[in-house]
Structure 1
Amino acid sequence: METSLIASTNSILSLFAIVLITGMILGKLSGFFRLPDVVMFLIGGILIGPFFLDLVGTNVSTIGEQLLLTFGSAFILYDGGRVVRLNILNSVKMTVGLLAILGVALTTLITGFVAARIFYIDPEYALLLGAVIASTDPATLVPVFKSISLREKIKQTIISESAFNDAAGAILVFSIIAAIQNGTFSVDSSLSLLAYMIVWGVIVGALTGIILSFAISDGKAGILHEYAPLVSILAVIISYVLSENLGGSGYMAAFITGLVCGNKSELDIFVSKNSSLIQTNVRDTLSTMLRMAIFIILGTAVDFTVLAMYWKQSLQIVLLLIFVVRPLTVLLCALPDKKAKWTLREILFMCWVRETGVIPAALSGMIAAMQIPHSGIISSVVFMTILVTLLLQASTTQALAQRLGLLEDNCETSESHVLRKII
């Protein structure tokens, strides 16, 4: 028992050390190759994984991996929430809501319809596949957007969408699994569960953010003022765990907590400049470490045996997702929002940006662990989607934003001029 515990502890510590060393090396190389660091981290994970160097093989602690993936995703969501401004989010809330719910549903249906014909599988399994890859990934988008000076309106819309659609995507997956196992599917119960998770996520996140923001403020309630950086980490843990225990979405709670903490001034809560600076430095350091961990671990989990069997069909699904499904859902969800006043350039950018990462990978792993039929096909599509969207879309995000004139330092260009440049 004691020997097993020591071995497990050593395995987790080794995992942390390998991830940090690999991440620092690849972080340096990302600048040399002019690629987003998350792309390099994913490639690095593949290289040190069981199919190549086997530095992080199948014997590594699954507890350590799960801890890094869960806390890392929650913290990056929290950090993403902090950069969202409520006044901007209010102006695009209809678009965000439609993309997070209607967009996920449409993506599931269209992708599932095509997958059933490409893989020759029953509709319920095809829909399950579509639901798994329907949500976008804040753990990918937040780091990419941090490295470019994208306009706030479009940046915060896409980040908010990715945070909110995780809950919708997860509920769809759970509902379809329940239908497969029980032979019944209830739209009413699925919608009720979705609403329940969202409501509790929002409530827990808001309360956690408000209480802890007061606790580190300069006012009389600031009893934890000197521990402000530690409270940032604690906020993520409390909001995630409490929401999950109440049946809510832990990821949404973490995002809402960050949203509240990032908009403290709206609540007349103020923190000294020195404390804010220290908090920012701690968050940036931790966010970098967790970003390394998430994508390196994802890289180590790529199963090339499964990919070899289904890579052609999986690639067809990914291309459909990128070039047909995403543009269609963006048009249907953004055009009705007259208040947002979306321009052609902004819509084109949203059509392209929909990277996939941590949440679909976690759902895919859960499906494989449950030994649901066709889980190998689902895993193949998920990993192909992660690889292609990171390598193709994340790598070109800055160039496309520059070309469309959506960077803060770009001069305004006419819509027709942008179209001529694209064509």
Structure 2
Amino acid sequence: MVLLAALSFVNSRFLKLPATIGILIGGLILAGGVAVLESLGVALAGQIQATVTSLPFGTLVFDWLLGLLLFASAIQINVRLLFEERLTVVAVTLLTTLITLLLIGTGTFYLLNWAGIPLSWAAALLFGAIIAPTDPVAALPLLKAAGVPEKVEALIAGESLFNDGVGVVAFAVLVGLLSPTAGGVTLPAVLLLFGREMLGGLLLGTLLGGAAFTFIHRAALDENTRLTITLALVVGGNALAQQLEVSAPITAVMSGLTLVALLQLIRKKSEIKAQSNSRVAQWKTENQGTLDDIQDHLYTFWGFVDYLLNAALFTLMAFEILSLQIGWALLALVPGVIVLGLVARALGVWLPMTLIARREHFPPYTRRLMVWSGLRGGVTLALAFTVPEGELRNTLLVLSYGVVIFSLLVQGLTIPRLARRATAASEAEAA
């Protein structure tokens, strides 16, 4: 916690970068210092490196951090706009993620085998599943800061939130194909697993979000109890999703969206009743606060949780680089993999956006912004860290780290400028 506070202060006082990116840079510098000291034989540095290596990064992210972060991101979205664009978001999420996965997998297969690093088709597609999911945790604050129109923000945010679930399910299927007992895996079994994970997560998240809304709205509770209910919703929902073998990321996203949608719906109904001299004032008194207060406290609390867990996640990401065995042969392939990822993302976005162009109108810069804001972050690294131990795991980790660091430092730092220029140019053309 002291380290998080120190990195946050240095970024706020000196670097003045977006919080997650500034903390990542500070963490990478510290990790580099630890590596240098360890090579000089400093005992403390060796202990730090051993501790970092022993951390179960993938478990920490999937079992604890990811659900909380996705929920915090979901409640910030304009649910009304997301619902209006629901078919577009579903189409873009499924097609973009699967196309990107296939293109990255195919390109990686040929690139690594050409470089003399043996890689099977299943392992190459596994890497595609690792890189395909984008990171809403990193992208959403940057889009908000750039003043992107809400309709475009809802599309990008919705796709980014839900493609995590699609990517995680695809990853689980491909890990199964790589296992020694994969001989019995069939297409119907894969489709059944995919449907159960996705549809089950959607249903469970909706039910849990509705239950949490009932407790928050109906009972006369104090604010601390309301916030505790939301924490229980996310932590309990994550555990329940794992027990039921449905997608925990999708469950977290849907529970957040459902809760906020119901709060906004009842708020609108209350405003209509208030205009007709209803007993809304009495309702507010009985529930110890207005609906505005409930939502404001919800956003404030989860905004802090989001910031704190982001800081922890990006600090862990920086220090986990100490656990890698980095060779020059792998480093030389990183630029090629980065270009491959950008091209795959561009093609993955282009096809579904072209298909929906006839029924949905988005500003002309939307595709460019979707491609460049497709950041890779904690989900990508968590997936890579859950690959079974072996040479393949280290290869995929090094390549994943290269993509993530480029994505966050280069794309992340230029998203606000790109968004402002694109929106300004679009407004000038419209005028």
Match of 1:383 in 2: 401
Note closer, same or farther for the CA distance 1:92–1:372 as it changes in structure 2 (3 Å cut). Answer: farther
Match of 1:404 in 2: 422
Q: Deviations over 1:160-215 (max 9, x none)?
A: 11221112211222222222223444332222111111122112211221111221
Instruction: Give, in whole Å, the separation in 2 of the partners of 1:88 and 1:341.
Output: 14
Note closer, same or farther for the CA distance 1:76–1:251 as it changes in structure 2 (3 Å cut). Answer: same
Larger mean CA deviation between 243-252 and 343-352 belongs to: 343-352
Corresponding residue SS for 1:83: coil
Give the CA deviation at 1:266. Answer: 5.0
The one-letter amino acid of 1:119's match is L
Larger mean CA deviation between 203-212 and 86-95 belongs to: 86-95
Give the CA deviation at 1:411. Answer: 7.6
The one-letter amino acid of 2:75's match is R
The one-letter amino acid of 2:340's match is L
Note closer, same or farther for the CA distance 1:28–1:261 as it changes in structure 2 (3 Å cut). Answer: farther
Match of 1:59 in 2: 51
The answer to whether the 8 A contact 2:146-2:420 is kept is: no
Corresponding residue SS for 2:330: helix
Q: Does 1:76 align with 2:74?
A: no
The one-letter amino acid of 2:351's match is L
Instruction: Give, in whole Å, the separation in 2 of the partners of 1:215 and 1:148.
Output: 36
Describe how 1:133-144 pairs up with structure 2 within 5 A: 133-144=131-142
- Percent identity for Structure 1 against Structure 2: 20
Question: Which residue of 316, 333, 336 corresponds with 2:352?
Answer: 333
Instruction: Give, in whole Å, the separation in 1 of the partners of 2:139 and 2:7.
Output: 21
Q: Does 1:17 align with 2:27?
A: no
Note closer, same or farther for the CA distance 1:84–1:275 as it changes in structure 2 (3 Å cut). Answer: closer
Instruction: Give, in whole Å, the separation in 1 of the partners of 2:62 and 2:315.
Output: 10
Note closer, same or farther for the CA distance 1:179–1:66 as it changes in structure 2 (3 Å cut). Answer: closer
Which structure would you say has the larger RCO, counting Cα contacts within 8 Å and 6 or more residues apart? 2
Corresponding residue SS for 2:386: helix
Describe how 1:159-174 pairs up with structure 2 within 5 A: 159-174=157-172
Instruction: Give, in whole Å, the separation in 2 of the partners of 1:106 and 1:200.
Output: 23
The one-letter amino acid of 1:151's match is P
Instruction: Give, in whole Å, the separation in 2 of the partners of 1:213 and 1:28.
Output: 39
> Structure 1-normalised TM-score?
0.84
Instruction: Give, in whole Å, the separation in 2 of the partners of 1:17 and 1:63.
Output: 21
Give the CA deviation at 1:289. Answer: 0.7
Match of 2:25 in 1: 43
Note closer, same or farther for the CA distance 1:114–1:38 as it changes in structure 2 (3 Å cut). Answer: same
Instruction: Give, in whole Å, the separation in 1 of the partners of 2:265 and 2:84.
Output: 19
The answer to whether the 8 A contact 2:152-2:362 is kept is: no
Note closer, same or farther for the CA distance 1:196–1:224 as it changes in structure 2 (3 Å cut). Answer: farther
Q: Deviations over 1:202-240 (max 9, x none)?
A: 1221122111122122x4x44566522222222211221
Q: Does 1:102 align with 2:82?
A: no
Instruction: Give, in whole Å, the separation in 1 of the partners of 2:252 and 2:349.
Output: 26
Describe how 1:313-324 pairs up with structure 2 within 5 A: 313-322=333-342, 324=343
Instruction: Give, in whole Å, the separation in 2 of the partners of 1:108 and 1:398.
Output: 27
Give the CA deviation at 1:275. Answer: 3.5
The one-letter amino acid of 1:103's match is T
Give the CA deviation at 1:310. Answer: 0.7
| Consecutive aligned runs of 4 or more in structure 1 exceeding 6 Å deviation | none
Match of 1:188 in 2: 188
Match of 2:276 in 1: none
Instruction: Give, in whole Å, the separation in 2 of the partners of 1:177 and 1:266.
Output: 40
The answer to whether the 8 A contact 1:205-1:257 is kept is: yes
Note closer, same or farther for the CA distance 1:197–1:52 as it changes in structure 2 (3 Å cut). Answer: farther
Corresponding residue SS for 1:57: helix
The answer to whether the 8 A contact 2:364-2:426 is kept is: no
Corresponding residue SS for 1:301: helix
Note closer, same or farther for the CA distance 1:397–1:288 as it changes in structure 2 (3 Å cut). Answer: same
The answer to whether the 8 A contact 1:355-1:393 is kept is: yes
Instruction: Give, in whole Å, the separation in 1 of the partners of 2:224 and 2:48.
Output: 39
Note closer, same or farther for the CA distance 1:343–1:149 as it changes in structure 2 (3 Å cut). Answer: closer
Note closer, same or farther for the CA distance 1:187–1:22 as it changes in structure 2 (3 Å cut). Answer: same
Q: Deviations over 1:370-421 (max 9, x none)?
A: 2255222211111011000101111111101111017xxx982328x9xxxx
Note closer, same or farther for the CA distance 1:233–1:52 as it changes in structure 2 (3 Å cut). Answer: farther
Note closer, same or farther for the CA distance 1:239–1:27 as it changes in structure 2 (3 Å cut). Answer: farther
Larger mean CA deviation between 54-63 and 305-314 belongs to: 54-63
The one-letter amino acid of 1:390's match is L
Larger mean CA deviation between 83-92 and 189-198 belongs to: 83-92
Match of 2:429 in 1: 414
The one-letter amino acid of 1:187's match is L
The answer to whether the 8 A contact 1:208-1:235 is kept is: yes
The answer to whether the 8 A contact 1:68-1:293 is kept is: no
Note closer, same or farther for the CA distance 1:212–1:27 as it changes in structure 2 (3 Å cut). Answer: same
Instruction: Give, in whole Å, the separation in 1 of the partners of 2:62 and 2:29.
Output: 19
Instruction: Give, in whole Å, the separation in 2 of the partners of 1:76 and 1:250.
Output: 12
The answer to whether the 8 A contact 1:240-1:250 is kept is: yes
Instruction: Give the aligned CA root-mean-square deviation in angstroms.
Output: 2.6
Q: Considering fraction of residues, name the structure with more helix.
A: 2
The one-letter amino acid of 2:79's match is L
Unaligned runs of 5+ in 2: 38-44, 114-118, 271-289
The one-letter amino acid of 2:4's match is V
Corresponding residue SS for 1:412: helix
Match of 2:116 in 1: none
Q: Does 1:285 align with 2:332?
A: no
The answer to whether the 8 A contact 2:76-2:299 is kept is: no
Q: Which has the larger radius of gyration?
A: 2
